[in-house]
Amino acid sequence: MDIAIYTLTSELHDENAVGAVTQEFLGSLGIDYTLKGSDYADFGKSTLSVIYVRTGGTEGIFKRLLPQLRQQSQAPFYLLTSGKSNSLAASMEILSYLQQNYLQGEIIHGSADYIARRLQVLVKVQEAKRRLNGTRFGIIGQPSDWLISSVADPKVVKTKLGIDLVEVPIEELLAGIDQITEGDMPDRIYGALKTIVDQYQLNGFTLRCFDLLTAVRNTGCWALAKLNAEGVVAGCEGDVPAMLTMAITHALLDVSGFQANPSQINPETGEMLFAHCTIPLNMVERYELDTHFESGIGVGIRGFMNLGPVTVFKVSGDLKRSFIAEGELVRNQAKPDLCRTQQVIQLKDNLQTHYFLTQPIGNHHIITPGCNRQLFENFMASL
C-alpha cells in the first residue's frame, strides 16, 4: 500500500520517548507505509497521506501548516492517533477546526486491526479516484427515449470524478459495422465498438443499443459482455448514471458489474428479481446464448453467477445521491418471460426495498459480487 505518514509533535515532548511510542504503534498495524516525519514537502503525492498526531499541543502547528497542505492536496485530512500523550484530544480539536472551515477530515483511532482495515479501505478509495481522474467515457447515441431521468451534468462529472463525457453519434457505429464484412453480426458489432473505443481513447461507454435492432437486426449484448470482461466499461441503453456507477465499480473492484432492471420486489421479505440480457463474461461461472428478450432476435446472454454475497449499487447523475445495499444471490433462473440473465437476490435489510418503490434512482442498478457496501459508501463520501 502506498501510504505516507506525516507527524505532528509538540516541542514540549521528548523526541526519544515519542519516537519509541511511534515505532511501537506503527509497527503494531502490520501495514506497509513510508514514515515522512515532519517534512510535508511532498504531502498529497502518495495514494494516501496520513497525519499522525503524536501528542497534544499540536493544534497550532497544524493551523500554520494548513494553507500549505491545501495547496498540495484536495483530499480529506486523515488524522491518525494512538490515544497516547493527549493525541486524541488534539485530533478532535483539529477536526473541529477543519469542519468549521468546511473541510473534510476523519480521525482514525481504535484497535490496531481496525486502523489497518480502515487504512486499507481508504487506500482503495483513493486509488479508485486516481484511476478515474482523466478518463474518457463515451455516450454512443443519446440515452434511450424511455430513460427520462437518466441523465448527467458533464461539468459535475468532470469536477467530482475527473471523467470527461464524450458524445459519439450512433451513425459512426453503424458505419463501422458496415465496414466489417467478415464474421457474424454480433462480432461485427463488437469490432466496430472496439474501433470507436480506440479512436476516441475511451475507457468505457454506454450504448443506445436498441437502435441496432432496426438498423442491423441484431443486438449489442454479446459485444458489451465481451468488452466488460476485457476491462472496457460497457453499459446499455445510453444510461449515463448507470455507466458512471459501473465506472466507479470497475475502479474499485476491477469488474464493471451487472447492469440490471429490478423486475419483481417483495417488500415484506426483501427478495428481489433483477434481470437483463447481458452480463460481463468475467462475472459468471457459465453462460448460454439466447435471443434478445424484447425483440426475440439477435443474441442475449443468460449468465449464471456464483451464489453468495452481492452488493446493489447506483449513483445519480449529479452524484448527490446513491443507493447501496448488501444481499445474497440465492439463485439464478431462466424463465422465458424475462430478460435472459435473471438473479434472485435477498437483501439483508428488507426495508431497503422501499427505496425502489418510493425514491429510486432510475431503473437500472448495478450488481457486484461480494460485500462492498463499505467501499462504495466511503467512495461516495469522498466526493
The full DSSP string for 25-63 is HHHHT----EEEET--TTTT-SSEEEEEE-SSS-HHHHH
Res 20: pLDDT: 85
- Residue 257's CB is within 10 A of a number of other CB atoms, namely 31
Res 17: pLDDT: 67
The Cα–Cα gap between 367 and 357 comes to: 18
- For 213: left if phi > 0, alpha if psi spans -120 to 50, otherwise beta; the answer is alpha
Res 85: pLDDT: 87
The Cα–Cα gap between 202 and 190 comes to: 15
Closest CA to 324 of 352, 344, 346: 352
Res 216: pLDDT: 92
Pairing of strands 341-347, 271-276: antiparallel
Residues of the chain with pLDDT under 50: none
List beta partners, residue 50.
Answer: 5, 78
Res 14: pLDDT: 66
Domains of the chain: 3-132 (3.40.50.10940), 147-381 (no CATH)
- Residue 93's CB is within 10 A of a number of other CB atoms, namely 17
